[in-house]
Chains A and B, each alone.
Chain A
Amino acid sequence: DSGVTQTPKHLITATGQRVTLRCSPRSGDLSVYWYQQSLDQGLQFLIQYYNGEERAKGNILERFSAQQFPDLHSELNLSSLELGDSALYFCASSVGSLVGSEQYFGPGTRLTVT
């Protein structure tokens, strides 16, 4: 158990819908990262937050957004869902801005868009 929790574990929804994925980082970790894992794209970085502020953006679609709340949990919002958005979404956390600090991953949320 990494200490990172993600809910829900599975999510099945229809095209055009909007969903919210939730992540709670390890106790004491200030940085949260979101990654997408799909068969065709592999593991791709989406976005990072550090202590409530957006720190870095990766291959995140405009239909997707995220935020980190004062209690440090984070939410990833996916809207106008398409079939191609079906994937595993991982959240990871790390202690902070130390370059060498490792990231600990949650169990993921499997999103299926039908």
Chain B
Amino acid sequence: AQSVTQLGSHVSVSEGALVLLRCNYSSSVPPYLFWYVQYPNQGLQLLLKYTSAATLVKGINGFEAEFKKSETSFHLTKPSAHMSDAAEYFCAVRDTGFQKLVFGTGTRLLVSP
């Protein structure tokens, strides 16, 4: 079965600093990978997705992620953090043979002024 592991339940950065949220996947086939963001008391919003078209995927709000097969990673980055980026971020993989998403445990991003 497919799975993803998010390293670090909390990540703290200063405003303007680089954001790096880590996600490693486990898959026996080329995976479909997603990053979602959840703001307090809201649903999940899709940031970006990887479907094998390109290894560097650009998403909304200045986020991007790079698929690295050799490292089985799909880390999320943003060059300069903004206060409004404070939220919980979830990495997810499409399960093999199904369309359901398997989510990681989430990483809470804290941005300080």
Chain A interfacial positions (CB closer than 8 Å to B): 2, 4, 31, 33, 35, 42-45, 48, 55-56, 58, 90, 92, 94, 97, 99-108
Contact = CB atoms under 8 A, between A and B. Distances in A.
Interface in B62-78: none
Contact of B98 (A56, A94, A102, A107): A56
Contacts of A107: 42-43
Nearest to A88: B43
B102 interface: yes
B69 to A, nearest CB: 17
Interface residues of B, number: 21
Contact of A55 (B42, B90, B94, B99): B99
Contact of A90 (B43, B94, B106): B43
B105 interface: yes
A31 B32 CA distance: 18
B47 to A, nearest CB: 10
Contacts of B95: 45
Contacts of A92: 44
B34 to A, nearest CB: 7
B49 interface: yes
Given A43-B90, A56-B98, A58-B100, A100 B43 contact: no
